[in-house]
Amino acid sequence: MSLQGKVALVTGSTSGIGLGIARALAGQGASVMLNGFGDSAQIEVLRAGLAAEFGARVAYSGADLSKPAQIAAMVAQTEAELGALDILVNNAGIQFVAPVAEFPDEQWDRVIALNLSAVFHGMKAVIPGMQRRGWGRIINIASAHGLVASANKIAYVAAKHGVVGATKVAAIELANAGITVNAICPGWVLTPLVQKQLDDRAAREGRDVEDLKHAFLTEKQPMAQFSKPEQIGALAVFLCSDAAATITGAPLSIDGGWVAQ
């Protein structure tokens, strides 16, 4: 599954799932443009570390994905610094939780802008170049919540359902252009942030963290096991390979059986 010579842009990739995907792509030889918020010095350490570990070209864009012009500029920066963009992974996302009747208007707008509109603007920016070259891979990170719902997450669920729908539309349009468009739909993923939240909650409630993890997982998933960022990354690498050349328009669950119920 070598991706030598390919250039990838992964949004929201300075931590968590996005970083797992960036590492997986770099590990297969792709040049990678990172994107996300954070301390500039820490991000530079991360960028340089990835480049050294994998012998890959790694760059960084601090584009604010809620602003379409910055998304277009990020794509242009990727092409200027790394070369023609072959792989786009739309991963960046945020969450806000509240009942519908109490959901703040500004939080609805914020979640939709980053979780859904940024996916549209990203695809729009990269598709013309991929069409000219006759090859491309677009991977949109949706969620189990792109297929089913949970209470108090109206903006997130609506956005992720929209991502799955947008993925299907783009896949149909590009079916004979050498470009595939798919959505990965993770369930619970054990990122460092989730681990910290679980540790803090266990300490606060005086509970064993492993018992808390089991209760947390089995509320939604038949399988009492977290997915890992590197597993999401491995699926992304597969979708970029020739073996997946006819997989397009698919919402691919990696969720411990969550949506099988």
Beta-sheet strand order (sheet of 58-61): 58-61, 31-35, 7-10, 87-90, 136-141, 179-186, 251-254
Give phi and psi for 4, each to the nearest 5.
-55, 130
CA dist., res. 50 & res. 58, Å (int) = 7
- Annotated active-site residue 156? The verdict is yes
Q: Which of 156, 188, 226, 258 is catalytic?
A: 156
The count of other CB atoms within 10 Å of the CB of residue 55 is 10
Burial 65-99 (b: 16+ CB within 10 A, else e): bbebebbbebbebbbeebebbbbbbbbbbbebeee
Beta strands in 111-220 (DSSP E): 136-141, 179-186
Catalytically active residues, by annotation: 156
